[in-house]
A and B are shown apart, each in its own frame.
Chain A
Amino acid sequence: MDVLGHLASGFAAALSPVNLTMAVLGSLLGTLVGVLPGLGPTAAIAILFPLTAVLAPVPAIIMLSAIYYGAMYGGSTTAILLNIPGEVASVPTSWDGYPMAQQGRGGVALGVAAIGSFIAGTFGVVALTLFAPLLADQALRFGPPEYFALMVLAFTAVVSLSGASLSRGIAMALVGYLLALVGMGPATAQPRFTFGFQDLYGGVDLIALIVGLFAISEVFLGIEEARVAIAAKITNIFPSRADLRQSLPAILRGTGIGFFLGLLPGCAPSVTVFVAYDAEKKVAKQPERFGRGAIEGVAAPESANNATSSAGFIPLMALGIPASPPLALLLGGLTVYGLSPGPLLFEKSPDFVWTVIASLYVGNVILLILNLPLIGLWVRLTRIPYGILGPLILLLCFLGTYSVRNSLFDVGVSLALGVVGYVLRKYHWPLAPMVLSFILGPLLEKNLIQALSMSGGSLLIFVQRRLSLVLLVAAVALLLLSFWLIRGTVKRVELATAEGAELS
């Protein structure tokens, strides 16, 4: 079947009542969590991840993807109205979005953000439809050495997920690998790193890890900060014709920058939004307007953010490489449901892949339909007291972690990791590399053992096979490129936020 045929059958499945409901529900829940001050897409996915555990794989991944999209949009709402970016990718939006809100044009800023996000998101999904199958067509050329090299390439994402300190990122990645080793060994089926505890024989559960590190620690930080609701009034949300004329070129430029940089594995939205904002400032006739409420300063980074996030689905689905922390959690979602993202995903589970891709188109439309009229509601939701919200999130975390394997031990693990995550976040340690390596660890190990068994223990097998060599060279090149991009962005964020940069 050709791409269009696959996509048509994907649409048929994505528009089924269950899948459509999950897309709507995910968009709503994602936006709901995203608009809460201080909570970004990563926290939103971590908090809502357990809810999807009771669903079948396709609706679950559709819901997770919709949560991701929704939370990203919600994040821009708090950045514009409250000057509280949920994560670094929303920082440039707040530079001009918040001044616009102060001038009484917050609704217009939100409207432009929604339109820019829609255009960029749709462009990204169209490209995903066209490009990902081309990459995945190489599936049959992949043996264990190539897969191992691919995992090494994926490991380069640790650099962009590490934020300002690479040493911390690598240390966290190693801890993630170590946790992945706990349980039964794949070669001899003997327990390892269990130290006699039978509860550890089944290994550490991914959801327990994600919920503990991201969701529980987030609530602890919220308690400490005594987060409070802030009032904001919204009047008109529809941009005028002049606003659209002014912002459309910025949306297109932001989309282009976000998309093409986002194709590089390891290039997260937190990098591309700054590049897009800088580019917009450079082409502007009056660059002094930026930082004082220039509509292009909202349109460009918001479009870049969404374009990069959509482009990130291409390396995620075709190669199994997540470009950002939320995508690392989505990768976790795929593995929880027994799916291995990578070249074989398109061949082994075409129905799943095309349904999810079609649901991304649907999700973009749902977000636009929901968000423009519901902006007033989202603003009111930012006023829910944290004293209600925090306990609800914690109770949901407890239940969600338990329900995956019906194990109280997993709950204990997530609570312990919640405390660890809280302390690590206080010290600005990046958590995403740990999740990435926890997910990649078993795949890396399996392919390393198989490749070395094929070669009788010789490492030369990785450079003797052409595709494997190409992937390893690409890994080195990407590593260098990521270093270069990250260094520039860290300086930019430090200047902007006057504190340690946390790009992840």
Chain B
Amino acid sequence: MNERTVTGGVLVLLGGMSVLEARRLASLREEMVAGAVVGDDTFSWIIGWSFLLLGFYILVVARWPVTHVSFPAGAARRRLLISAGMLVAYYVITPYLGYTLSTLVVSTGLYHAMGSYRWPVAFLIGCLTTGAFYLMFRVWLHEPLPTGWVGI
């Protein structure tokens, strides 16, 4: 599948979803506000039909520019995937480990993955970063950050 087909297909799907949601909202409006000609469904209709029109236009009529895209390979891809993975891990572990510990773990991992620093060096920079963030956001700005099981 090329970019044009994917784009057109996604837009048609989004349009279909919007039109279905608009139908649900329209019947809700008729139930809740008798006689109202416009409501929460109005814009959903407009957006839905615009998506459908644009999607079909792209699929059938439009001259789509060809974009040559090369995604990274080798070490660059590994760095990218590990960094993205570290962010997902950050999101998952923060409620359990709390902000401070998770930041230490994730920053160490990110420095190792993105900067290719050896683990002890990455850990040291991670400690410095976490300490600076802790002082700035927890101590100075009193940000209510998750504390997790450990309570820090």
Contact = CB atoms under 8 A, between A and B. Distances in A.
B84 A171 contact: no
Contact of A224 (B72, B87, B146): B72
Contacts of B29: 187-188
Interface stretch (A200-208, A397-405, A478-486): A397-405
Given A174-B47, A175-B14, A220-B80, A390 B88 contact: no
A61 to B, nearest CB: 19
A188 B117 contact: no
A456 B65 contact: no
B101 interface: no
B35 to A, nearest CB: 10
A175 B15 CA distance: 10
Given A387-B117, A399-B137, A187 B40 contact: yes
B111 interface: yes
Given A385-B115, A453-B38, A181 B43 contact: yes
A408 B93 CA distance: 11
Interface in B18-65: 18, 21, 25, 28-29, 32-33, 36-40, 42-44, 47, 50-51, 54, 57-58, 62, 64-65
Interface in A378-415: 385-388, 390-392, 394-395, 398-399, 402-403, 406, 408, 411-412, 415
A402 B103 CA distance: 13
Number of contact residues on A: which range applies? 35 or more
Interface string B65-95: 1010101100010011001100110110011
A491 interface: no
Interface string B97-118: 0010001001100110011110
A398 B146 CA distance: 13
Chain B binding surface, main DSSP class:
helix
Nearest to A427: B67
Number of contact residues on B: which range applies? 35 or more
Contacts of B58: 167, 171
Nearest to A456: B37
A452 B143 contact: no
A253 to B, nearest CB: 34
B120 interface: no
B42 A426 contact: no
A448 interface: yes
Interface in A417-438: 418-419, 426-428
B33 A188 contact: yes
B74 to A, nearest CB: 11
B120 to A, nearest CB: 15
A367 B36 CA distance: 54
B44 A188 contact: no
A350 interface: no
B141 interface: yes
A193 B21 contact: yes
A185 interface: yes
B76 A395 contact: no
Contacts of B152: none
B32 A181 contact: no
Nearest to B88: A415
A500 interface: yes
A178 B47 contact: yes
Given A190-B25, A403-B143, 15 more contacts: A167-B62, A170-B54, A174-B51, A185-B25, A187-B33, A188-B28, A190-B28, A192-B40, A386-B114, A394-B87, A399-B145, A427-B67, A444-B43, A445-B43, A449-B43
Interface of B: 3, 7, 11, 14, 18, 21, 25, 28-29, 32-33, 36-40, 42-44, 47, 50-51, 54, 57-58, 62, 64-65, 67, 69, 71-72, 76, 79-80, 83-84, 87-88, 90-91, 94-95, 99, 103, 106-107, 110-111, 114-117, 125, 129, 133, 137, 141, 143-146
Nearest first, the 5 closest Cβ-Cβ pairs linking A and B are: A387-B115, A185-B40, A457-B37, A391-B110, A187-B39
